[in-house]
């Protein structure tokens, strides 16, 4: 589904320039970005925060997942430039998915309130899920001006100046996970994130030919980056996001399998080795390269589950066919010392998530995920030479290179 058309906001005026753009992103765009974040996010820069930055995607073999961001970034920059009358004057300083979990909050501040943040000129916060349904708390409040507070609705965007004319805070999240796409814009080309990101992408992606087998398989970052600390406890984010959707991770016990780690190894390290996915009494008969690979497929299934279930009911009257489970002696449940109660407190419980689960649907989701990833990887390798030559990330089919060059010369 295409993003909802939104009229450009009027020129900024007043002492506290900000605009609330309703329905800026389509529900499908919100869900796709949610999929990216829930399958790739790591412990964030603040307590009880999970974040996904574009450099992190590139560093973990997921550079192709930048593609869903490209049209959104372009539309947001156009909206900000239109609102604040600074056409062809802005560069994107930062793009990131950020979720605020139970206990997360931030006090009164402006977004340029540190010496190393002075380059920030404008902020755009896109809400990807709904207050009151997906989480409680987390209201954005401004110290002065209107709107004085923003109750998040999926698809809405709030844009404002990053200086002390828009001092704001975010109330504590008391339940659930508040998910946003946040961008900061700058007038200083030295802080443009695109050239740095493209340099990184070039190093990681040009090594892959367009038809490299499974070049889209994710590569986990350091295990410590996935550790979500909460008070005196914590859990691995990858495991938690698998668990709350009703799945569990299994590892091989086959003595002939060289990927099996010695028993004395840290179980967390096994997440970097081949794993299987189980659910209740079944184990899916497919090996995944690592825990992040398994998580990404699980999250893709969750994204597409309603569509898959509806298609199954239309074609087979609702009957499902269970996939053949692996021989139970080949795998064992991954022995992780996780705080499952805390996982559910932070991310929720699969018992509260309505999924009409069938292994047949999941099997189809695996194939769909591979096709989705292959297509994005193909596009990335096609677009990357154009981006590198222009030192900018843009929609190749709709923005001529000379326009991109003009922007970068401003």
Q: What is the pLDDT of residues 139-161, one digit of tens each?
A: 999 999 999 999 999 999 999 99
User: Where are the domains positioned within the chain?
Assistant: 18-213+396-409, 223-372
What's the confidence (pLDDT) of residue 280? 87
Distance CA 385, CA 383 (A): 6
CATH superfamily of 18-213+396-409: q2cbj1_9rhob like domain (2.60.120.620)
What's the confidence (pLDDT) of residue 44? 87
Q: Omega before 9 cis (within 30°)?
A: no
DSSP for residue 329: G
pTM, entire model: 0.90
Beta strands per DSSP E along 44-84: 49-53
Contact between residue 248 and residue 278 where contact means Cβ atoms under 8 Å apart: yes
- Give the tens place of pLDDT for each residue, 262-295: 555 678 899 999 999 999 888 999 999 999 999 9
Q: What is the chain's percent helix, strand, coil content, to nearest 5? A: 40, 20, 40
Residues in the chain with pLDDT values less than 70: 1-2, 4-13, 206-213, 254-265, 317-329, 337, 349-352, 398-410
What's the confidence (pLDDT) of residue 351? 60
What's the confidence (pLDDT) of residue 397? 76
What's the confidence (pLDDT) of residue 319? 55
What's the confidence (pLDDT) of residue 303? 97
Distance CA 407, CA 410 (A): 5
DSSP for residue 300: H
What's the confidence (pLDDT) of residue 50? 98
What's the confidence (pLDDT) of residue 403? 44
What's the confidence (pLDDT) of residue 203? 86
């Amino acid at each position: 589904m295409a993003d909802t058309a939104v009229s450009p906001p009027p020129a900024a005026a007043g002492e506290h320039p900000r605009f609330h753009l309703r329905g800026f992103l389509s529900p499908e765009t919100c869900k796709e970005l949610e999929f990216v974040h829930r399958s790739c996010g790591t412990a964030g820069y603040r307590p009880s925060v999970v974040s996904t930055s574009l450099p992190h995607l590139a560093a973990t073999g997921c550079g192709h997942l930048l593609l869903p961001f490209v049209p959104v970034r372009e539309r947001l920059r156009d909206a900000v430039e239109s609102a604040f009358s600074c056409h062809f004057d802005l560069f994107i300083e930062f793009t990131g998915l950020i979720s605020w979990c139970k206990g997360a909050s931030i006090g009164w501040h402006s977004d340029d309130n540190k010496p190393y943040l002075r380059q920030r000129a404008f902020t755009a916060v896109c809400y990807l899920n709904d207050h009151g349904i997906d989480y409680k708390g987390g209201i954005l409040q401004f110290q002065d001006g209107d709107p004085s507070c923003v109750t998040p609705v999926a698809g809405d965007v709030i844009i404002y100046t990053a200086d002390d004319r828009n001092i704001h805070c975010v109330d504590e999240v008391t339940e659930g996970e508040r998910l946003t796409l946040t961008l900061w814009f700058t007038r200083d080309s030295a802080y443009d994130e695109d050239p740095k990101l493209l340099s990184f992408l070039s190093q990681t992606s040009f090594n892959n030919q367009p038809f490299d087998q499974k070049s889209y398989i994710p590569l986990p970052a350091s295990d410590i980056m996935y550790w979500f600390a909460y008070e005196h406890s914590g859990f691995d984010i990858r495991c938690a996001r698998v668990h709350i959707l009703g799945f569990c991770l299994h590892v091989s016990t086959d003595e002939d399998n060289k990927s099996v780690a010695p028993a004395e190894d840290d179980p967390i390290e096994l997440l970097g080795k081949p794993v299987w996915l189980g659910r209740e009494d079944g184990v899916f008969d497919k090996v995944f390269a690592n825990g992040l690979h398994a998580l990404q497929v699980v999250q893709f299934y969750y994204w597409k589950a309603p569509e898959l279930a509806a298609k199954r009911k239309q074609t087979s009257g609702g009957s499902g066919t269970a996939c053949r489970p692996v021989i139970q002696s080949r795998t064992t449940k991954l022995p992780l010392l996780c705080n499952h109660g805390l996982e559910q407190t932070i991310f929720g419980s699969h018992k509260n998530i309505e999924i009409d689960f069938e292994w047949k649907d999941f099997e189809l989701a695996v194939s769909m995920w591979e096709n989705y990833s292959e297509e994005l990887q193909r596009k990335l390798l096609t677009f990357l030479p154009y981006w590198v030559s222009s030192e900018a990330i843009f929609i190749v089919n709709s923005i001529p290179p000379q326009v991109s060059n003009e922007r970068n010369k401003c």
